[in-house]
Amino acid sequence: MRREMEKHGYQGYDLQTIPPWFERSRHAHDYDEIRAAVAGVTTFHFDDGPVTIEAGDILFIPAGTPHEVRTHNGNPFTAYKGSLSGERSVTELGDGRGSVEDLARS
């Protein structure tokens, strides 16, 4: 999956596994983001509606697009995350629940 990201010009900055029943509060990125799903299923909630991805799927999220992430099942979800520059930057629009920093405190 990481090679697939690179084919689109993206550099991975994280391989993240989120726990079952995970919820990530509303946030946006200051850059175009890519997710390349490796295992499990999760749903991204955008203003225009939900998008569910599973292992083998790639999701492009345009810069500044508000979204939440919710895993509505008992399985973890793993995906590569990346940007064109390979750097991570987040604008919190909610309470930061489920952020990388929040997960690190768990």
Domain boundaries, the chain: 2-105
CATH superfamily of 2-105: Jelly Rolls (2.60.120.10)
Locate the DSSP E strands across 1-106.
11-18, 23-29, 33-39, 41-46, 49-54, 58-61, 67-70, 77-83, 90-92
1 or 20, which is more confident? 20
Q: Which two tokens stand for residue 96?
A: 């930061």
pLDDT, residue 63, reads 96
Residue 2: pLDDT band with limits 50, 70, 90: confident
Report the predicted TM-score, pTM, of the whole model to 2 decimal places. Answer: 0.91
The sheet that has 58-61: what strands, in order across it? Answer: 11-18, 77-83, 33-39, 58-61
Tens of pLDDT, residues 45-104: 999 999 999 999 999 999 999 999 999 999 999 999 999 999 888 999 999 999 988 888
**Cα–Cα distance measured from residue 18 to residue 20, given in angstroms and rounded to the nearest whole number:** 7
Q: How many residues comprise the chain?
A: 106
Q: Which two tokens stand for residue 85?
A: 């520059």
How much is the average pLDDT of 40-45? 98
